[in-house]
Structure 1
Amino acid sequence: MSARDPQNGRDGAISRPKPGQDEGAATFGAFARKPGARRVAVDVSSAAKEDVIETVDALPEDAVEVGYIADGYGLKGWVKIVPHANGKQGGDALLTAKRWWLTKGRERKSARCMQSKVHADTIVARLGGCDDRNAAEALKGHVVHIARSDFPKLDDKDEFYWVDLIGLDVENEAGVALGRVADLIDNGAHSILRIEYPGTNKDGEPVTGERLIPFVGVYVKTVDRAAKRIVVDWDADY
């Protein structure tokens, strides 16, 4: 099994908020098993002309944070985005979605993505209504969100986006509850489920326990998103 993850390491996008990110915001990332990068740029400049970045009251209900604007790029209004997925390893949503939502503090904006492409470990994009370097630099620090419904479809039934695994209950094959997925970690070879569960310390005070289970087929037996449950081959005392 493989999963799409927010960022390599425990100090990734879920654990460490990016500029302008709300605490607890859902985030998106790359494949743990790295496929070939999809490098085809999206270009919708010939589509409906939308040359305004407009203020909106709220984001879509399925909006997922995918990165943040780090700087302007060039002189023609392009922006540089640091994705929560390495640009070469799966920032596909940034390359395919035509509508982005930008947030910074209490600001909420909607922008048409006219063109986007991989640039080294980042993604650069041209947004409708952002026509020069000054306009691009004014967007620096904005967090980029994309609707979950606009994420590229996964080809393999055993591949999952991290954002879809977070919050699922985990139990072993004997039916013993092991906790709930809090986030995931990428160790370079595969993803690891970080599971939290209620416990007590030596003084009998309530604490949050943690289990780390590799997200690989030998341990993970079923992932049932509809039932919000993952079944694993793992003893409760591991």
Structure 2
Amino acid sequence: MAGQAEGLVVLGAIAGAHGVRGEVKVKTFTEAPETIAAYGPLTGDPGGRVFRVKGLRAVKDGAVVRLDGVEDREAAEALKGTRLCVSRAALGEPEEEDSFFHVDLIGLTAEDEAGTKLGTVIAVHAFGAGDMLDVRLDETGKSVLVPFRREMVPVVDLKGGRIVVRLDDEDEEAEGDSA
């Protein structure tokens, strides 16, 4: 999952119309495309129109979705670019102990193993080969990408609002190259 604004979590974005009957192609940010409908009605962009999913089928790179009130291609095309959100509360808690929602990691303090504050997690990126934490370093204001693997992030303490990260020499050198 990606992004957070006003207590909302973005689960997907409408990529455009699919066919002539009002279906939309959605790029989903959920683990499985079909789960975008599992959390109840979707809000289009923070504070926008509320959509109820009438039908859905998973396709390559997302899902084809029929939304209540979207009846033709023109109405579907008008929604292109709309982000589909739910409240963070609708997600509940992750089922597995070492599982985290991306939105819960954003804003955590990043510390080294000695407990020294390094910076703050500003984003989580899913590039396909594994998630990366984008950490803005306090000392330089630059950001560094840290692979979200146990050997690089041995501690995630959501209640304490912190993570422990291991930065190697390459990450510290790359700081100057990141923005």
Same fold (TM > 0.5): yes
User: Partner residue of 2:175?
Assistant: none
User: Partner residue of 1:125?
Assistant: 65
SS in 2 for 1:226: coil
Contact 2:111–2:117 (CA under 8 A) maintained in structure 1: yes
Deviation at 1:113, TM superposition (A): 1.4
The equivalent position to 1:176 in structure 2, one of 110, 116, 120, is 116
The percentage of counterpart residues that share the same residue type is 32
Structure 1 pair 148/174, CA: closer, same or farther in 2 (3 Å)?
Answer: same
User: Partner residue of 1:141?
Assistant: 81
The answer to whether residue 49 in structure 2 is matched with residue 109 in structure 1 is yes
TM-score w.r.t. length of structure 1: 0.61
Letter in 1 for 2:101: Y
Structure 1 pair 233/82, CA: closer, same or farther in 2 (3 Å)?
Answer: closer
Letter in 2 for 1:129: G
When the two chains are superposed, the root-mean-square deviation of aligned CA atoms in Å is 2.9
Structure 1 pair 140/220, CA: closer, same or farther in 2 (3 Å)?
Answer: closer
Structure 1 pair 234/136, CA: closer, same or farther in 2 (3 Å)?
Answer: closer
Structure 1 pair 84/178, CA: closer, same or farther in 2 (3 Å)?
Answer: same
The equivalent position to 2:22 in structure 1, one of 65, 74, 77, is 77
Residues 124-143 of structure 1: per-residue CA shift (max 9 Å, x gap): 11111122333322323322
User: Partner residue of 2:107?
Assistant: 167
Segments of structure 1 that go 5 or more residues without pairing to the other structure are 7-24, 28-60, 200-206
The equivalent position to 1:98 in structure 2, one of 40, 48, 61, is 40
Q: Quote the Cα distance in structure 2 between the aligned partners of 1:225 and 1:91.
A: 26
The equivalent position to 2:4 in structure 1, one of 4, 26, 35, is 26
Contact 1:116–1:124 (CA under 8 A) maintained in structure 2: yes
TM-score w.r.t. length of structure 2: 0.78
Segments of structure 2 that go 5 or more residues without pairing to the other structure are 173-179
Letter in 2 for 1:113: V
Residues 131-171 of structure 1: per-residue CA shift (max 9 Å, x gap): 23333223233222122233375332112121111110011
Higher relative contact order (Cα pairs below 8 Å, separated by 6+ residues): 1
Moved over 4 A (4+): 233-238
The answer to whether residue 163 in structure 2 is matched with residue 208 in structure 1 is no
Letter in 1 for 2:133: L
